[in-house]
Amino acid sequence: MNKLGVAIIGAGKVAPTHAAALASIEECQLVAVCDSHASRSSALGDRFGAEAYTDLDTMLRNPRIHMVTICTPHPLHAGQAIAAANAGKHVLVEKPMATTLPDCDRMIDAARRAGVTLGVVSQRRLYEPVQRVKQAIDTGKIGGPALGMVTVLGWRGPEYYAMDAWRGTWGGEGGGVLVNQTSHQLDLFQWLMGPVEELCAYWDNLNHPYIEVEDTAVAVLRFRNGALGSIIVSNSQKPGLYGRIHVHGRSGASVGVQTDGGSMFVAGMTAQVDPPINDLWTVPGEEGLLAGWQEEDRARASSLEVMTHYHRLQIQDFARSILEHREPLVNGEEGRKAVELFSAIYRSGRDCKAVRWPV
């Protein structure tokens, strides 16, 4: 097999990012696009030289397709992933993997039974500043995590929710700030801090009366390694976007990354974002490296297309994992962990009690 034939399911706002990334990956060739709206599938297909479909089952019968990437609203992920797996196609699904844990388990089971690879888009794990934090923790530079904090403050106004009918609804989106705007940061938090043992949480809609879902959530966590943590996320703070993860170690040293900054991000629409940078670093003997890393990361961001670069890296890893018969960077079990985390937050807030793992 010289190239993997790839199909994109869903031609909405994030789909062009996948298509552009695929165009630059030598292991892949975009051969098909499927969307229930013929005008959208045709527009994306014409732009990237791919065949357009409006019926998923018909497209999945195309023998040129070996792999699909799923870019549809979150509640549709499970059914489409299972259909693709049953058709013998490898499946890479946009974040979040699904909106419920049973759906995640159904997806994992379908991929296992079909003998296909399942992966979840978590491209922020590949940010160089995030990799530095992960390496510092894994090599014991901070003596193991003692306290972790994730903070994401941003704004979504009426115009954002008016872009698509599914936005801001439980049925169409599966949740609010936890599911849509901060699932990447939740994924990073548990990846850096380790398995969660227990959490208590609150969530609410504080100033978006025109939507159904939460716009703000807070949680406190105890991790299996004994560390403590906090989560504060909100779509109720403006202007702009502020997203940071800080990990304080048992040695007293701290490391951190600003994953998001600048204007509010909308997939497929935002043209420029602030580069991810390390914003905290007190590892003994390495304190002076911070300014140089920030300069390096800003220079890198100015020389590449940040909006597609990290998607390209993860999609390429996924394609190579198929060709090399190995696990991808983020498999289904890894993608499930972020869903378990926001599911626990919802349950704790709903029931007004602590939630223990496994959820």
Distance CA 189, CA 256 (A): 11
Residue-wise pLDDT tens digits, 177-220: 999 999 999 999 999 999 999 999 999 999 999 999 999 999 99
The domain spans of the chain are 4-123+311-331, 124-303+338-351
Q: Which helix (H) or strand (E) holds 159?
A: helix 158-161
Distance CA 82, CA 93 (A): 11
pLDDT surpassing 80 at residue 1: no
Distance CA 162, CA 103 (A): 27
**DSSP character at residue 96:** S
Which is nearest to 118 in space by CA: 315, 314, 332, 316? 332
Q: What is the reported pLDDT for 266? A: 56
Distance from chain centroid for Cα 16:
16
Q: In degrees rounded to 5, what are phi and psi of residue 68?
A: -125, 150
Tell me the CATH number for domain 124-303+338-351: 3.30.360.10
- Asked if residue 339 lies in contact with residue 104, where contact means CB atoms within 8 angstroms, the answer is yes
Q: How many CB atoms lie under 10 A from the CB of residue 198? A: 15
Distance CA 177, CA 74 (A): 13
Q: Give the C-alpha distances (Å, rounded to integers) separating 333 from 71, 111, 254, 255, 343.
A: 19, 11, 29, 27, 15
Distance CA 174, CA 102 (A): 14
Strands 51-53 and 28-34 come out as parallel
Residue-wise pLDDT tens digits, 103-114: 999 999 999 999
Task: Choose the CATH number for 4-123+311-331 among 3.40.50.720, 3.40.50.300, 3.20.20.150, 3.40.50.150.
Answer: 3.40.50.720
- The pLDDT mean for the chain works out to 95
Q: What is the reported pLDDT for 276? A: 95
pLDDT surpassing 70 at residue 338: yes
Residue-wise pLDDT tens digits, 43-98: 999 999 999 999 999 999 999 999 999 999 999 999 999 999 999 999 999 999 99
Owner of token pair 């609804």:
169
Residue-wise pLDDT tens digits, 288-328: 999 999 999 999 999 988 889 999 999 999 999 999 999 99
- Asked if residue 72 lies in contact with residue 10, where contact means CB atoms within 8 angstroms, the answer is yes
Q: What is the reported pLDDT for 330? A: 98
Residue-wise pLDDT tens digits, 130-144: 999 999 999 999 999
Return the structure tokens found at 68.
Answer: 């699909």
- What would the mean pLDDT of 272-278 be, rounded to a whole number? 85
Question: How long is the chain?
Answer: 359
Which is nearest to 35 in space by CA: 17, 13, 20? 13
Identify the residue with better confidence: 271 or 199: 199
- Report the DSSP beta bridge partners of residue 32: 7, 51
Q: What is the reported pLDDT for 238? A: 83
pLDDT surpassing 70 at residue 263: no
Identify the residue with better confidence: 1 or 115: 115
Q: What is the reported pLDDT for 240? A: 77
